[in-house]
Structures are given as C-alpha cells and as structure tokens.
Amino acid sequence: MSFKNLFYVAFTVFLVHTGSLNAQQTDQKKLEAKRKALKEEINKIKTYIDKTQKKETNLSTQVQDLNQKITTRQQLINTIDSEVDEMNRIITKKTTEINLVEKDLNVIKKDYADMVYKSYKNRNADNQLLFLLSSASVQQGYLRFQYLKQYSQYRKKQAEVIQKKSQKLHTLIDSLKVKKDLKESMLEDKKVEQAQMEIEKLKQVELVKKYQKQKKEYVAQVKKKQEEEKLLNDQIENLIKEAIKKSTQTKTSTTKSTTKTTTTTTTKKETTPVKTQKNEFALAPEAKALAGQFSANKGKLPWPVEKGLVTVRFGKQPDPMDSKLTIESSGVRIATAENQKARAVFEGKVMAIQKNPQNGILSVLIQHGNYITVYANLKSVSVAKGDQVKIKQNIGTVHTDNVTGKTILKFQIWQDDQKLDPSGWIDGM
C-alpha cells in the first residue's frame, strides 16, 4: 500500500472515531438534560401537589395525582437506564483507548531505552570525533555531523513524545474514573427512584380497591369535572364567536362607508362588502402584524405563571381508572404555588373578563390579532376589558381550591374559533 493510501485510511479512521465520540457526547448531554428535567418535575410534584394536598381530596383527584407521579418517575428510571447504557459504551471506548495508548507508550519507551543504551555505550566524545575524522571526504564528514545532530534531536523528541503520551494516559484514566463514579451515582439514584415507585404502586393498588367500592362516586366526580370544563369552554367559545362576528360587522360597515364616500358622483355604482371566511377575525393591518409576531414566537412563549407543573394536558385522554371514561381538556392545567400571579404570554388587548356566577371565579381573555389566550380559574384580576397588556404582565391571582388545597391555572390558546395545544407554543412545556 502506498504512503498516500495509508494516510487516507488512517485519516478516515480518525474521522469516524472522532465523529462517533462526538455523537456519544451529544447523546449523553441530551440524556443528562432529560434526567435533570424529570427530576425537576418530580420536585414540582412534591411542591405543588403533595404539600398542598388536603385530606378531603376526592378519589378522582388522588388517582390523577398518583398516576402523574408514577408516570414521571418511570420516565426518569427509563432515562437513567438509557444514560447508564450510554455511559457503558463510553467506558468501553475509553478503556480500549487506554489500552492502545499503553501499548503505544510501551513500544516508544522500549525504543527509547534501546537508544539510550546504545548512546551510553558510545558516550565517549573521542568515539564521536573519530567517527567524524574517519570520513572519506568533507561531504561525508558533513553528513555524519548532521546525522549525529539529528540523532540527538530525535532522542529529545522521543522523550517529549513519551511525556505527552504519559500525560494523555493519566488524563484518560482520570476521565474513566469520573465516568465510572458517575455511573455508580446514577445506579444509586435508580435504586432510590425504584423504591419510591414501589411505595406509590402500593398506594395505587389501594386506590384501585377504593375505586371498586366507590365506582359510582368516582364516575360522578369525573363527569362533574368534565361538565365544568365543557361549561367553561362553551362560555369562552361564545365570547370568541361574538368577537369574531363583531369584527366582521365593523369591517363591513367601514368598507361600505369608504365606498360611499368615494362614489358620490356615480350613484348607480354598487358597493360590495369585504367577505371573510366563516368564523375568522376580520383584522386591521396592525392586528395582522401582531398575529404574525405571535405566530413567529411559536414554541418560544413564556409560561403563564412564573413557576408551575402541567397536571392535565391538551386533548382527549383515557381515564387512568376507567377506560370507558374519557377526559377532554381544551387547554392545559398548571399547578402552581398559592397566590401565584397569572401573566400574559404575549402583548395584546384584554378582549373580555368572564365571571362564573356560581362561585365568582374569573377568566381573562387576551387578544393577539386572531389569536386568543385564556387565563381561567383566577380569584382576582388586575386588568380591565380594553387594556393593552405587555408580555409577562401580571393579569390576576390564581385561585386556590378550599377543598383540595391546590392552586391550578387553566390556560388555553385559540386561533379564531379553533382550540390549539398550548404545549406547542409555550417554551419547555
């Protein structure tokens, strides 16, 4: 094989090894970030659910809370397993690399030792002088002088190579120890999480027994929650549809007035009102621009509370106890601390403030062009209809339930009269 081909093969192997190592490091960082996020979520469950839970909590709420804890903990255990597997692969690679470096270092040390031994045998300066003087010509003498000089430099370089290789070996060994210690730490974490999950599963068995005895009561509780959700959703939808209707009427009226002004000299010319698609806001240029800015920030919007935990996600989902029951959520429910403030996720205008006549609970609707954000389950508000609000501006205080002890914000996002999944819009949700 030619030197050129040999160099090409060696360079290709180096790139593959480097690319594989970089990919492993990236995967490890992603798993580490996921593990930290899940641990943080478990801490939030302890803060916003366990510590606030009261003895009067009904069965359906207990089932929902416990199911979330078990699901999150299982995800954490699975992530730790994946991280340990990835760590094992890295440890194997580093061990192989250490063996190769040790082998290479031993060869270099042996060569260097042989070189030093030969130099020691010929250490007499007279021998080197005789070697130069015995040259057949000046040219040969010069070449021999260069040889002695290069030989000395080579010895020096070999000593430097040995030093660098030794440093690399020590670094690899230290790095391997760190990885092994981290692996052991993760395995200990896994044991702790598994032990905690076993306790939670025993509680789950107790709840199943309790459910079997109180099935009718449980079904009634779930259905009551769904009726409350539907009532709130219908009220919000009606408010939005009324606002859409008003916007189209205003747009049509403005268009007719403008047309009439510009055709005063032509009485026979008919005016045509601006038509919009069914159930869509008729937007002025400024409102269109605001809607565009809102849309451009999809996935980047701040949370509607400073700190919180999503307890119910968007859409239809099966009940954890009864597969015949379906839970439908028009947005997300976020558990947070008592007296926590709800805040606007984007600049806009307060479209409406809704009050539940039965319990006085409030909801705020903020319009961002043809997008609407809804902040429901507030005990008080700090804005009024028509107010312009800024991003992260406090708009009210989240209500704390006297029975369950929980502080839950119900948050929704609408585009015209269509509900959207907030998790796709809020950063990190």
Domain assignment present for residue 273? The answer is no
**pLDDT confidence of residue 380:** 97
**pLDDT confidence of residue 101:** 83
**pLDDT confidence of residue 294:** 98
Q: Find, among 63, 24, 21, 72, the residue nearest to 44 by Cα.
A: 72
- Co-location of 231 and 368 in the same domain: yes
Residue 309's CATH number: 2.70.70.10
Q: How far apart are the first and last CA of the chain?
A: 57
Domain assignment present for residue 219? The answer is no
For the entire predicted model, the pTM comes to 0.68
- At CB < 8 A and 24+ separation, what contacts does 219-228 make? 219/322, 219/325, 221/58, 221/59, 221/60, 221/61, 222/60, 222/319, 222/322, 222/325, 222/327, 223/325, 225/60, 225/327, 226/327, 226/328
- Co-location of 234 and 368 in the same domain: yes
E-strand ranges in 106-146 read none
- Co-location of 209 and 238 in the same domain: no
- Count of the separate structural domains present in the chain: 2
- Co-location of 107 and 55 in the same domain: yes
Residue 383: domain span: 225-260+278-424
Domain assignment present for residue 345? The answer is yes
Q: Are 241 and 281 in contact (CB under 8 A)?
A: no
- Co-location of 386 and 353 in the same domain: yes
- Co-location of 107 and 200 in the same domain: yes
To the nearest 10°, report the CA torsion of 52, 57, 63, 68.
-10
pLDDT by residue for the chain (429 residues), tens only, comes to 444 454 454 445 445 555 555 566 678 888 888 888 888 888 888 887 776 665 556 787 788 888 889 999 999 999 999 999 999 998 998 888 888 888 888 887 787 777 666 666 655 555 655 655 677 787 877 777 676 677 667 767 777 778 888 888 888 888 889 889 999 999 999 999 999 999 999 998 898 888 888 888 888 888 888 888 888 889 999 999 999 999 888 656 555 554 444 444 434 344 344 444 568 999 999 999 999 999 999 999 999 999 999 999 999 988 877 878 888 899 999 999 999 999 999 999 999 999 988 888 999 999 999 999 999 999 999 999 999 999 999 999 999 988 788 899 999 999 999 999 999 999 999
**pLDDT confidence of residue 270:** 40
**pLDDT confidence of residue 7:** 46
Angle (CA) 350 352 355, round 5°: 130
Domain assignment present for residue 9? The answer is yes
**pLDDT confidence of residue 107:** 81
- Co-location of 153 and 229 in the same domain: no
Domain assignment present for residue 271? The answer is no
Question: Distance between CA 244 and CA 240 in Å, rounded?
Answer: 6
- Co-location of 42 and 139 in the same domain: yes
- Co-location of 375 and 350 in the same domain: yes
The letter for the amino acid at 151 is: Y
The letter for the amino acid at 173 is: I
Q: How many CB atoms are closer than 10 A to CB 90?
A: 20
- Co-location of 67 and 133 in the same domain: yes
- Co-location of 207 and 230 in the same domain: no
